[in-house]
Chain A
């Protein structure tokens, strides 16, 4: 779509925040400002969300495959998304993988052998990368 979606949404947010919200009062003004802030988040996420999810899902699969060698249970299965790159499909796959990650970390985090500790560290590294890649400009932290 032209003009680009991220730019258009960011511009709509600016209009709502700077031109429209100041004309409103009380509860409506607060709602308009929040909707403008949400449009800013949409603009920020629009271009990066699919790439971020593809990369994170690959990261998750890699750690889960490594974990399958250490922890009894079903080995990580192939991509359930079947190449579907819609964000909704990528998010479903991401949630499936993150659920498995919780089970894996629960199994290894209290073990004192070097392999388990290294895997636990790899999980924390993955989670840190995930959080940093999801940061939004307006966040307080």
Chain B
């Protein structure tokens, strides 16, 4: 990939923002996050007619090969769509879809510093007492997102969906992803897909803006365990509000290696918080179907990472690691949900 340097950024911004003068870029470095996109942090200073500004920024760049079929424009628009609707998110600053300047499309956003986003940190004993507050913030934000009327959001950039069709639309999409990133036969995943087609869920009780990766590791929290912002909206889409809830129940993303979902709270506690915040019902059979659906999605993403690792000249360690670490655990989670473990 083309190196992103402070000079490159400064020159680009001078051309892109003609009202900005005396642009300064400092402390640019890549952050250890994201299997699908590169994330950089830097300090920005500039002068315009309002005076001198000093901002902290996040730059995200699309890679040549990813485990997720998304792009800068989609995530940028998703952030802008939900901003101001009761879900805390960083403010988007700039989108550059032309890959020429940086070797891939980029977006710039405000960098909310001084907070944490580690799914592993909260597993440490000193965080145990703060987990209930994190749980409250996590599933309340998720529930509020589920409850937002999609008619109030600018979601024209998203693939259309209907309450009746969203389940099979998602299953079709992720099965096609599995087919496209074939890294070997998947008897458990394929058996689950066949069962899901024979036993579809009821229509969604409403359409919602689904975050698509709502879990520990994808939100910022402060020292007290207060949730500050929800990140990583690149897989956001229209769908069933149970979908995000189901993803957050995932066994493979339960980083405490116990019954606490997302490594944060027991399943029933998480469901109680989500239900209170969303005002929606949780049909247990429908939720189980969506939990299986999230296993299919997960396996498709881990396999896509493995396939991306093989086909690129500059493979990312995380793509191989995630596949090694998660694929069998994902199969085991499917067996549990199907009552076969």
Contacts and interface: CB of A to CB of B under 8 A. Distances in A.
Interface of A: 25-31, 34-35, 37-38, 41, 95, 98-99, 101-102, 105-106, 109-110, 123-124, 127-128, 131-132, 134-136, 138-141
Contact of B340 (A25, A37, A127, A136): A127
B329 interface: yes
Interface stretch (B8-16, B201-209, B317-325): B317-325
B257 interface: yes
B253 interface: yes
B317 A26 contact: no
Contact of B331 (A110, A123, A131, A140): A131
A66 to B, nearest CB: 16
A6 to B, nearest CB: 16
Given A26-B29, A30-B32, A141 B332 contact: yes
Interface residues of B, number: 36
A140 to B, nearest CB: 5
Contact of A127 (B32, B187, B251, B317): B187
B30 A141 contact: no
Top-6 shortest CB links A-B:
A30-B32, A141-B251, A27-B30, A98-B185, A139-B329, A34-B321
Nearest to A134: B328
Contacts of B198: 110
Contacts of B341: 128, 131
A128 B33 contact: no
B278 to A, nearest CB: 26
Of residues B186, B253, B257, B324, which shows the largest number of chain A Cβ atoms within 10 Å of its Cβ? B324
Interface string B236-279: 00000000000000011111010000000000000000000000
Contacts of A30: 32-33, 318
B interface majority secondary structure:
helix
30 contacts: A26-B30, A26-B32, A27-B30, A27-B31, A30-B318, A35-B317, A38-B324, A102-B185, A102-B187, A105-B187, A105-B191, A106-B190, A123-B187, A124-B335, A124-B340, A127-B187, A127-B188, A127-B331, A128-B340, A131-B188, A131-B332, A132-B332, A134-B328, A135-B332, A136-B324, A139-B328, A139-B332, A140-B252, A141-B254, A141-B257
B32 A141 contact: no
B194 interface: yes
A interface majority secondary structure:
helix
A135 B326 CA distance: 10
A20 to B, nearest CB: 14
Of residues B31, B251, B341, which shows the largest number of chain A Cβ atoms within 10 Å of its Cβ? B341
Contact of A31 (B29, B253, B317, B331): B317
Given A31-B317, A128-B340, A140 B251 contact: yes
Nearest to A120: B191
B111 to A, nearest CB: 14
Contacts of B187: 98, 101-102, 105, 123, 127
A98 B188 CA distance: 10
Interface string B172-196: 0000000000001111101100100
Contacts of A132: 332
Contacts of A110: 198
Given A41-B325, A109-B194, 17 more contacts: A26-B30, A27-B31, A34-B317, A95-B185, A102-B187, A127-B187, A127-B188, A127-B335, A127-B340, A128-B341, A131-B341, A135-B328, A136-B325, A136-B328, A139-B252, A140-B251, A140-B252
Contacts of B32: 26-31
Contact of A38 (B251, B321, B326, B335): B321
Given A34-B321, A95-B185, A131-B328, A26 B31 contact: yes
Contacts of B254: 140-141
B79 to A, nearest CB: 23
Contact of A141 (B33, B252, B320): B252
B134 interface: no
B333 interface: yes
